[in-house]
Amino acid sequence: MYLNGQYVPYEEAKIPVEDRAFLFADGIYEVVRVYGGRPFDLEPHLRRLARSARELRLPEPDLEGLTRVTHELIRRNGVDEGTVYYQISRGVHAPRAHAFPGQPVEPTVLVLTHPLTPEAVAAGERRRQEGVTAITVPEQRWARCDIKSVSLLPNVLAKQQAAEQGAYEALFVRDGFVIEGSSSNVFAVIDGAIVTYPACNYILNGIARQRVIRDARSLGYTVLEQGIPLAALDRCQELFVTSTTSEVTPVVAVDGRPIGDGKVGPVVRALQQAYRAAARG
Ligand SMILES: Cc1ncc(COP(=O)(O)O)c(C=O)c1O
């Protein structure tokens, strides 16, 4: 893996216990998918990393350097199908104090790769073919969900609740609207239009979300960036979630009630095909 300017064996990488990501979750991250040895949509992911850094007043990351590191790590680790994980924290500072260190400290910058096993790739394919189920949970996060911060406790608890109920994803509901998943964006097909919550401070503006909106518009669909009323789930024709790792995954039931006819619909199929063509190109 890459840690603070050096390539080090994964087992030997060390981060001091007083790193602010460990003590305060004071850090940001990104996840990029690797298809056939190539990082997909690397540039928008790194641009979002830089935005997250600015919003949290972290030093501006070196995006050219991180691009080189990405390709080098993929090469060194021989990643064909997998992910690249980036994390930047405000660095190490003792004694523990909430406010930023008085003197500038070097951020902790790490990049690592995870290969995806053929079984994991096949499981994703199966979810995309057959659809998944979801539950709804009340929104309990802060009002800056647009920042991709490692502070993910409400997301962790929501995903765990979904897992314990046998569901794939938990969908956050804020003020009566389904806004996004615990690790995905959510889209509904209502009266033929594709509806998804607008990019604002309440959701992460997913890189997959942005791609799917572009694809949908170029396929001729109407995309409305507005809230999906929870009450509209009973009358929507299709529902799906998007993310870098799950791509376009249909949701066929929410809280035990079927979406549409409970089968994977044609809009999802068209968008999956477009996404796949770009990713696998
Ligand atoms: C809360 C949340 N929303 C949306 C997404 C989807 O973002 P992306 O498409 O960039 O992977 C993620 C991804 O991890 C997420 O954690």
| Domain residue extents for the chain | 2-117, 129-280
- Residues lining ligand 1, Cβ inside 6 A: 155, 180, 183-185, 204, 206-209, 242-244
Band of the pLDDT at 79, cuts 50, 70, 90?
very high
Of ligand 1's atoms, which has the minimum distance to the CA of residue 45?
10
Distance of alpha carbon 48 from alpha carbon 58, whole angstroms: 13
Q: Hey, what's the torsion of the CAs at 160, 40, 14, 97, to 10 degrees?
A: -70
Q: Which CATH architecture has domain 2-117?
A: 2-Layer Sandwich (3.30)
Residue 21 CB burial class (10 angstroms; 0-12, 13-18, ≥19): buried
Name the residue with the closest Cα to ligand 1, atom 13: 183
Instruction: Report the alpha-carbon angle 201-206-207, nearest 5.
Output: 135
pLDDT digits (tens, 9 = 90+) for 156-168: 999 999 999 999 9
pLDDT single digits (tens) 221-272: 999 999 999 999 999 999 999 999 999 999 999 999 999 999 999 999 999 9
**Residue 265 structure tokens:** 């619909």
Which residues on neighbouring strands pair with residue 134, listed in sequence order? 169, 254
* Peptide linkage before 138 cis (omega within 30 of 0): no
Q: In what order do the strands lie in the sheet with 6-7?
A: 6-7, 2-3, 108-115, 82-89, 27-35, 38-39
Name the architecture of domain 129-280.
Alpha-Beta Barrel (3.20)
Q: Which atom of ligand 1 is nearest to the CA of 211?
A: 9
